[in-house]
Amino acid sequence: MAPVCLIEGGVDGLRVTDAGISLLESLNEPVAIVCLAGQYRTGKSFFLNQLASRRDDLPWISNSGAAVSNGNVANGTSSPKTNGFRVGPTTESCTRGIWLWAPQPPVRNPTGQLVLFLDTEGMASTDNDESYDAKIFSLGLLLSSLFVFNTMGVIDEGAIDRLYLVSELTKHVCVSAHPSTAPVSNNALDTMNSGAVPDIKAAWEYVSDATCQAALAAAIELYDNLMEATTGKKPLKKVNINDEGESEDTDEVEEDTDDGGSDETEEGPKILSQTEFEAIYKDAQEQALTFFKHKDESLSKVEAEAQTTKQELVKQLEVLRAKHQEEKEDWIRHAADQTAEKTMLQKQLKQAELGVQQKQRDMELLDKERQQLQQLYEAEVDARAQQDRDYEALRGGNLELERKLKQSAAQLLSSKQAAEREQGRLESRLQRFQMQLGRLEGNREVEEVLRDCVSNVVRQSDEDKIITLQEERRILQEQLGNLHEKISTLPDFYVRQIFCAPEPVPSFFDALTSAVGDATKWQTNWNQ
């Protein structure tokens, strides 16, 4: 399942989205929400994606619980691929508002609760103010079971201020509580407000003081070691009590004698007697009693002053808190009014810019139309001048054509008269030709009649000749048949000698009748 936007920002403020409500309504089991907040572009979304993808490396995530599917979220199915929160290489914030993600397969903690990841919009961006950042930060802190503050490098003073601000805001935020747990919630709220629970700023001051004390002790020890290594003597520590009853440790180094050495170096270590030891011990005991007495008095005095100061500070804090709350509400209303006014002015400015851009586009279009019209006008002027020149040329050509037309009319009249004379002459010749043609037609008909008669006579004589030749052919074929029978009984040698052929004739009868039996050849020869 891909992440959904749970809370988004708008002109009217923050609001819960429909997709976020649908996701929350689909869950009917205990959940544990891990929220990550911090400055923008510090890798919060990437860090949450790594938490969801490397669940086996996290000791607080149960591997057995991850195998249990969330029926309300994934309908009993699991997918090895997770989409994750959107990340990008840009310098602007990728996450807007607050996003909620239920990764698949579902992630569960050792107690069996479904783990959801909450990604918040980064703080200190150029698009939002501190009020918006405080709202996002507070909502993430209130909605989460585990709140993680992400920062790059060391924790600077700005991060501490933001954490202190949110911790102070959450002390006074209590939306609702179950009747059975209301006393517990009120008790926890009162405990946080009373200062019994150290806040982040006090913890930071304690760490700072402890670090300074450790550095001071290390410096004193280093100084003692250097002095002992240089002079061969340890510095003596002397306890002094100042005016306020606090003890001060001072180091006192014994001075060397004028002879270049001390008594201990010349005579060795000095052994004290019992009386001297008791005197020194009594003196030390009196000093210790005096010191502890002054210490108790100073502690009582400091405690009384601290209690008085605390009461005064609590009163001042209440006054400042009420004043700050009123100022905060005023500033919130003022910021909302300014935001609305800014939005309205931005809309008006945008509309004005759009109007100016539209007017500029209209002016550009009008300029282009003017240029086009100017070009068309110039083209029309050039065309008019060309038409005038063409008109003058056509006028001169028309005059020339009129002159030629007159000449042509005169020539046509003379040609018409000559044609009429030629027509009369041709008509007379046509009449003569027709008379001659009539005579020639009569002669042709006579010639055709004579040709038909001659052809009939010739055809009749040819038929008689053909009949005679066919009779002669039949007789000759009979004779040739008898001759073929006689010659076919002779050897091939005599046959070649008879026909004067180098090779024997394949068909002797065909050779003899090749020319004799062909009637067409006879007719052709006859006609020739």
Per-residue pLDDT at 486 = 74
Q: What is the mean pLDDT of residues 442-458?
A: 84
Residue 458 has pLDDT above 60, yes or no: yes
Backbone phi, psi, residue 117, to 5°: -110, 135
SS3 content of the chain, % helix, strand, coil (to 5): 65, 10, 25
| Type of residue at 163 | L
Distance in angstroms (rounded) separating the CA atoms of residues 385 and 382: 5
Per-residue pLDDT at 371 = 92
| Tens-place pLDDT, residues 70-100 | 333 333 333 434 478 877 666 666 788 899 9
Predicted TM-score (pTM) of the model is 0.35
Domains contained in the chain, CATH given: 4-152 (3.40.50.300), 473-527 (no CATH)
| Tens-place pLDDT, residues 134-177 | 788 878 888 888 888 888 777 777 767 766 666 666 565 555 55
Per-residue pLDDT at 213 = 79
User: Hey, which residues does 150 pair with through a beta bridge?
Assistant: 38
Per-residue pLDDT at 66 = 38
Instruction: Read off the pLDDT band of 67 (50, 70, 90).
Output: very low
Instruction: State how beta strands 13-16 and 114-120 pair.
Output: unpaired
Q: What is the mean pLDDT of residues 468-497?
A: 75
Per-residue pLDDT at 76 = 34
DSSP string, 417-442: HHHHHHHHHHHHHHHHHHHHHHHHHH
Q: Which of 45-59, 80-94, 513-527 has the highest mean pLDDT?
A: 45-59
DSSP assignment letter at 458: H
The string over 492-503, giving b where at least 16 C-beta atoms fall within 10 Å of a residue's C-beta and e elsewhere, is: eeeeeeeeeeee
| Type of residue at 432 | R
Per-residue pLDDT at 385 = 92
Percent of the chain with pLDDT over 90: 11
Instruction: Read off the pLDDT band of 269 (50, 70, 90).
Output: very low
Instruction: Read off the pLDDT band of 454 (50, 70, 90).
Output: confident
Distance in angstroms (rounded) separating the CA atoms of residues 466 and 525: 12
DSSP assignment letter at 212: H
Mean residue pLDDT of the chain comes to 74
Cα angle, residue 57 at apex, residues 56 and 61 outer, rounded to 5°: 60
| Tens-place pLDDT, residues 302-313 | 778 777 877 887
Per-residue pLDDT at 468 = 85
Per-residue pLDDT at 373 = 93
Per-residue pLDDT at 116 = 92
Tokens describing residue 521: 């050849």
Q: CB–CB of 240/294 below 8 Å?
A: no
User: In whole angstroms, how far apart are CA 313 and each of 53, 190, 317, 320, 325?
Assistant: 49, 17, 6, 10, 17
Per-residue pLDDT at 193 = 53
| Tens-place pLDDT, residues 172-204 | 555 555 555 555 545 555 555 555 545 555 555
| Neighbour tally for 70: CB within 10 Å | 22
Distance in angstroms (rounded) separating the CA atoms of residues 402 and 393: 14
Per-residue pLDDT at 383 = 93
Per-residue pLDDT at 219 = 77
Residue 63 has pLDDT above 70, yes or no: no
Per-residue pLDDT at 377 = 94
| Tens-place pLDDT, residues 207-258 | 567 777 777 788 788 777 777 776 665 555 544 444 444 444 444 444 444 4
Lowest mean pLDDT among 41-50, 70-79, 458-467: 70-79
| Tens-place pLDDT, residues 387-441 | 999 999 999 989 999 999 999 899 989 888 899 988 888 998 888 888 888 888 8
Instruction: Read off the pLDDT band of 379 (50, 70, 90).
Output: very high
Q: CB–CB of 232/280 below 8 Å?
A: no
